[in-house]
Amino acid sequence: MSALHQLRIADWLKTTPTGQTITVSGWVRTKRGNKDIAFVALSDGSTINTLQIVAELVNFDEEIIKKIQTGCSLRVTGALVASQGAGQTVDLQAQKIEILGEADAEKFPLQKKKHTLEFLREIAHLRPRTNTFGAILRIRHALAFAIHKYFNDHHFYYIHAPIITGSDAEGAGEMFRVSTIDPQNPPKTGNGEIDYSQDFFGKSANLTVSGQLESELAAMALSRVYTFGPTFRAENSNTARHLAEFWMIEPEMAFFELTDNMDLAEDFLQYLIKYAMEHCADDLVFLEKRLIEEESQLKKEDRNPMPLLEKLKFVSETAFERITYTEAVAILEKSGRKFEFPVKWGIDLQSEHERYLVEKHFKKPVILTNYPKDIKAFYMKLDEDGKTVRAMDVLFPGIGEIIGGSQREEDYEKLSKRIDEMGIHRESLWWYLETRQYGTVPHSGFGLGFERLVLFVTGMGNIRDVIPFPRTPKNLEF
């Protein structure tokens, strides 16, 4: 049978064992046994669970059995039978064992024991073979798939925003330069600066920090669009919540106002969480157990108030609190709490403030809206009072800002004025401004950091552990 149609371990574990002869392939997790019999836990990544291979040693060459060690790959043919042991329902009584690739036990870094996440980061080429990363990668896949499904079902078109861009006017962060100029001998202009007119694109180029502006252009024709692609920030951020390369989802909708935008964000997030709970139940149960075990060493106040699955259920079923920035500041001022950064209308809210609102005051996700215009981006729609803008940030417990979005300024004159006020180079945005001159409409959108979503759903603590090969300052291995 073609490998394409072969059943996987996940499929076999669900079937009723009748002694039928099957063939499975995978990697050895552990081998146990005595001089008569060997038990091998085999994984093919299709599920967190392993298939137990039972080998009566009299039937096999001693050399073969010796080579079956943690990490090696096997193809096994045998009879699928009900297990005599207690730990699993089915066994594969091996008739033929083929070693596809050996793994020297003295050198193979993954052992039959717990490893720290920090150590596994150093062996990112092998960590998908652990239970934890297998679970995370399957959940990550399910969420990515669910994102496309949700948007498709809601009549959004998937737009591919460019990864190399010439515009640097968004102010979303430091950018990585893209260039083919010889760094040893760059062409210079008369005043000694590097002459990018001689570079590949004839001007200075960067990796994108956001697909939003391009998304807006497409929304002005297709009404509902979204991007889902890699995004790059050259910020020297060393935290458990930042990556230099991450994946972002950015829907942009014509004819959506701020409230519609909030409705979408809330429905979308709750759908994604429910999807993961429905399709990755085994993996989530495993991660929940892992988390409880890990947190058992912590003090009570440092633990998560709810087990993972309960938290996901709660967030996916509870309406998010929606309050304005001004109301939030009032709550913080009345809280009587001493914050490291004192609260005053006009300041950007700090982590400690957001955490208080989400984790202490409301105890559920919060959507903060109508921030002061001076702490937000130029493209956000000005409110009638002239002081605030129609921004919205979705704050999640333990994560902080998971979504940042806004209704966009569709009025040419107002947008133009904001660009000048904020000292932005308007010539490089001529194409963006034209959308406000030709058939402008009210529209809104937001950005969701994909890894932050995966972080929340998996309950993991460090964003470097929810992406296969993290890119962070001083780290470009693999």
Asked if 109 touches RNA (CB under 7 A), the answer is yes
Quote the least distance from Cβ 284 to RNA, whole Å: 19
Asked if 91 touches RNA (CB under 7 A), the answer is yes
And the tokens for 388?
Answer: 């605030």
Quote the least distance from Cβ 348 to RNA, whole Å: 5
- The Cα 166–Cα 170 span in angstroms is 11
Asked if 230 touches RNA (CB under 7 A), the answer is no
Asked if 95 touches RNA (CB under 7 A), the answer is no
Residues 6+ apart with CB under 8 A from 81: 17, 19, 90, 91, 92, 93
Which stretch, 132-140, 276-284, 307-315, 344-352, contacts RNA (CB under 7 A)?
Answer: 344-352
In the list 127, 129, 224, 242, the residue contacting RNA (rule: CB under 7 A) is 242
Residues 6+ apart with CB under 8 A from 70: 28, 29, 30, 31, 103, 105, 108, 110, 111, 112
Quote the least distance from Cβ 50 to RNA, whole Å: 9
Q: Please check whether residue 94 is in contact with residue 79, taking contact to mean a CB–CB distance below 8 angstroms.
A: no
Asked if 337 touches RNA (CB under 7 A), the answer is no
Within 10 A of 191 (CB to CB), how many other CB atoms are there? 5
In the list 206, 227, 435, 472, the residue contacting RNA (rule: CB under 7 A) is 472
Size of the chain in residues: 478
Q: Which of residues 386-425 bind RNA (CB under 7 A)?
A: 400-404
Asked if 240 touches RNA (CB under 7 A), the answer is yes
In the list 5, 35, 338, 344, the residue contacting RNA (rule: CB under 7 A) is 35
Asked if 278 touches RNA (CB under 7 A), the answer is no
Q: Which of residues 158-217 bind RNA (CB under 7 A)?
A: 172-173, 210
In the list 119, 345, 431, 478, the residue contacting RNA (rule: CB under 7 A) is 119
And the tokens for 403?
Answer: 């979504």
Strand order in the sheet with 157-158: 157-158, 224-232, 245-254, 443-449, 400-407, 391-396, 366-369, 321-324
And the tokens for 252?
Answer: 């942009």
Per rule CB under 7 A, count of chain residues that contact RNA: 72
In 296-343 the beta strands, taken as DSSP E runs, fall at: 321-324
In the list 214, 452, 457, 466, the residue contacting RNA (rule: CB under 7 A) is 452
Which stretch, 6-14, 35-43, 263-271, 410-418, contacts RNA (CB under 7 A)?
Answer: 35-43
